[in-house]
Amino acid sequence: MTVIVTRAFIFYVFLTLMMKLMGKRQIGEMQLSELVTTVLLSELAVLPVTDTDIPLLHGLVPLILISSIEVILSFASRKSKRFLIFLNGNPITLYENGKFNEGNLTKARVSSEDVEAQVRINGFETLGEVKKVILERTGKMSVLPKKNANPNQSGEG
């Protein structure tokens, strides 16, 4: 049991260090590649922690490799807009000038009710106060008001 606890501690410290080095954001702000990396790292760490027949190095090497790939992808995304778009896509306009973009709603698998909810969360009472709603690369929606509209002060956002 002491071996498993020690291995768990080692992997916890190592994973925390890897995530820190990769510059992870909050879960709601993660790009797709960051989310995949996070899931892979957690899955790769489980077996070497619980199976003492697996050498520690056999568990740590894949973690280093996956973390390195994520750092390289992040660097490449910062240097090449084309690569960033390939990896994470473009922001998608869901609502603009009084109309929903049905094609983009379908493409993003977002309902008009989801957009309306986000508008309310941002402190607006109706879509009439909003010029545009954009689904960002992070998965969050940006709500852009019309020039004369002010969000309700009681709204969160």
Are both 67 and 26 inside the same structural domain? yes
User: The whole model's pTM is what?
Assistant: 0.62
d(CA 96, CA 143): 10
Rounded to the nearest angstrom, the gap between the alpha carbon of residue 65 and the centroid of all alpha carbons in its chain is 21
Please tell me the least confidently modeled range out of 75-79, 89-93, 104-108, 148-152: 148-152
End position of a domain, from candidates 65, 87, 109 = 87
Q: 10 and 56: one domain?
A: yes
Give the integer Cα–Cα distance in Å for 61 and 109: 37
Question: Helix (H, G, I), strand (E, B), or coil: what is residue 43?
Answer: helix
Stronger pLDDT, 79 or 29, i.e. the higher one = 79
Domain limits at 118? Answer: 90-145
Instruction: Identify which has the larger pLDDT, 68 or 101.
Output: 101
Q: Which residue has the higher pLDDT, 55 or 26?
A: 55
| 82 and 112 within one domain | no
Q: What is the mean pLDDT of residues 11-37?
A: 72
**What would the pLDDT profile of 114-154 be if each residue is shown by its tens digit?**
999 999 999 999 999 999 999 988 788 999 999 876 666 54
What pLDDT is recorded for position 49? 85
Q: What is the pLDDT of residue 152?
A: 64
Domain of residue 140, CATH code: 3.30.240.20
| pLDDT confidence bin for 25, thresholds 50/70/90 | low
Q: Is 93 exposed, middle or buried (0-12, 13-18, 19+ CB in 10 A)?
A: middle
Mean pLDDT value across the chain = 84
**Position 150 in a domain:** no
Residues 82 and 18 in one domain: yes
Number of domains in the chain: 2
CA dihedral sign of residues 115, 118, 124, 125: positive
* Position 28 in a domain: yes
Q: Are 83 and 97 found together in one domain?
A: no
pLDDT (mean) for 45-67: 87
- What does the pLDDT read at residue 24? 53
Domain's final residue, options 44, 68, 87: 87
pLDDT score for 9: 85
- C-alpha distance from residue 48 to each of 12, 60, 67, 86 (Å): 12, 9, 17, 34
